């Protein structure tokens, strides 16, 4: 497989993951994804933003999120986000510290 084909396949897989999370499984909460997998939609949008920055493209966190979500995060939350629980919040703190904070700091 040549490099261009690999890039195209990786991009197609990313787009399918995005569609799955944004259209097919809107019921899956970000907090549950983070607690189980160590990443969520916000992580994917941050990775998108970071990839843009690596290529000299300026993008704010909100712009990265809107590019991934296809809408503002506020609109997503209003349409799809449910209330969390204290136990989910506690698990999220651990997952965030292990998967995001340590890697950023």
pLDDT surpassing 60 at residue 105: no
Q: Which of 16, 72, 20, 12 is nearest to 42 (CA)?
A: 72
* pLDDT per position as a tens digit, 19-72: 999 999 999 999 999 999 999 999 999 999 999 999 999 999 999 999 999 999
Tokens of 25: 């499984």
Say if residue 60 is exposed, middle or buried (CB neighbours under 10 Å; 0-12, 13-18, 19+): exposed
Looking at residues 4-11, what average pLDDT do you find? 97
**Residues 20, 18: Cα–Cα separation, whole Å:** 5
At 97 the pLDDT is: 92
* pLDDT per position as a tens digit, 84-93: 999 999 999 9
pTM, full prediction: 0.86
């Amino acid at each position: 497989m040549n490099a261009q084909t690999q890039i195209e396949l990786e991009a197609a897989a990313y787009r399918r993951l995005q569609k799955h999370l944004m259209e097919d499984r809107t019921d899956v909460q970000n907090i549950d994804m983070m607690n189980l997998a160590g990443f969520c939609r916000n992580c994917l949008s941050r990775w998108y933003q970071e990839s843009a920055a690596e290529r000299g493209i300026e993008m704010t966190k909100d712009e990265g999120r809107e590019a991934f979500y296809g809408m503002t995060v506020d609109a997503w939350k209003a349409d799809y986000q449910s209330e969390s629980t204290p136990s989910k919040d506690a698990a999220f703190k651990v997952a965030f510290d292990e998967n995001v904070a340590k890697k950023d700091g």
